[in-house]
């Protein structure tokens, strides 16, 4: 067993206090299962994204079938007609928003929904996973609305999603290290954004899509690790 470090920034540091909390710090020890070693092992390696604000959105459909989204803050919504007009509307939020990277080998990033949001908030987070050691990237909240006839209501402090980081040894301890220097945060985000846009320019070819897949789902390629190494020189 060893300790693995995942670095990250809060992209919205000038607007929101986006936060990640280890799930074990939120567990209610009055539940009997909270003492179970199987539960504790997973809980201590899982992190929960917490809403920094109160927020509400509502799907509106006009008589001629046009779907629009109204919210308490339109500036933090992202989406397009294809997603909004899915079998259930899918909306992207600009909060919480992080960028993650690591110097460790073969660390997998696993983004999942939080079970309470479908009951309390009327949405389910869109999940996914990939090899973070090969593919440093940002995360944001894509949500599928459970009942489009009802609003999505989020309160400050509500859990929004869960994420875990997996190494080749399930007993490894995962530590998150947040960069809080505002100048470094802006520098990292600018570098990441430039790097991401450069990749998107060539994404449409079949060969490039296959290259992306090999990065996302293969073992660590040591020649392509960590685009933010300049921070630690």
With 60 as the cut, is the pLDDT of residue 154 above it?
yes
Banded model confidence at residue 225, pLDDT cuts 50, 70, 90: low
Domain ranges, ordered by start, for the chain: 3-22+49-232
Mean pLDDT of 13-34: 93
- Please give the share of the chain, as a percent, with pLDDT higher than 90: 66
Mean pLDDT, the chain, whole residue set? 86
How far apart CA 189 and CA 148 sit, in angstroms, is 34
CA–CA separation, 11 and 95 (whole Å): 9
Second CATH level (architecture) for the domain 3-22+49-232: Distorted Sandwich (2.70)
DSSP states along 8-71: EEETTTTT---EEEEGGGT--TTSGGGG-HHHHHHHTTEEEEE-SS-EEEEEEE-TTS-EEEEE
Percentage of the residues of the chain whose pLDDT score is greater than 70: 84
The pTM of the full predicted model, rounded to 2 decimals, is: 0.84
pLDDT tier, 232 (very low <50, low <70, confident <90, very high otherwise): very low
Give the pair of three-digit tokens for residue 198.
Answer: 């450069």
In terms of Cβ atoms closer than 10 Å to its own Cβ (0-12, 13-18, 19+), residue 74 is exposed
């Amino acid at each position: 067993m060893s300790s693995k470090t995942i670095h990250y920034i809060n992209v919205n540091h000038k607007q929101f206090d986006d936060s990640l909390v280890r799930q074990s710090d939120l567990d209610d020890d009055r539940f009997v299962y909270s003492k179970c070693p199987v539960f504790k092992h997973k809980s201590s390696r899982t992190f929960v994204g917490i809403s920094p604000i109160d927020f509400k959105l509502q799907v509106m459909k006009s008589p001629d079938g046009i779907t629009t989204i109204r919210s308490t803050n339109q500036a933090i919504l992202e989406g397009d007609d294809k997603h909004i007009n899915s079998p259930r509307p899918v909306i992207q939020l600009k909060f919480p928003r992080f960028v993650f990277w690591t110097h460790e080998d073969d660390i997998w990033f696993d983004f999942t929904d939080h079970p309470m949001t479908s009951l309390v908030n009327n949405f389910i987070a869109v999940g996914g996973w990939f090899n973070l050691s090969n593919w440093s990237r940002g995360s944001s909240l894509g949500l599928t609305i459970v009942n489009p006839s009802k609003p999505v209501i989020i309160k400050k402090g509500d859990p929004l999603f869960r994420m875990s980081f997996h190494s080749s040894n399930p007993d490894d301890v995962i530590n998150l290290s947040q960069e809080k220097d505002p100048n470094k945060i802006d520098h990292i985000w600018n570098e990441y954004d430039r790097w991401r846009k450069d990749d998107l320019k060539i994404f449409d070819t079949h060969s490039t899509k296959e290259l992306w897949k090999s990065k996302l789902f293969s073992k660590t390629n040591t020649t392509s690790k960590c685009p933010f190494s300049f921070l630690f020189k």
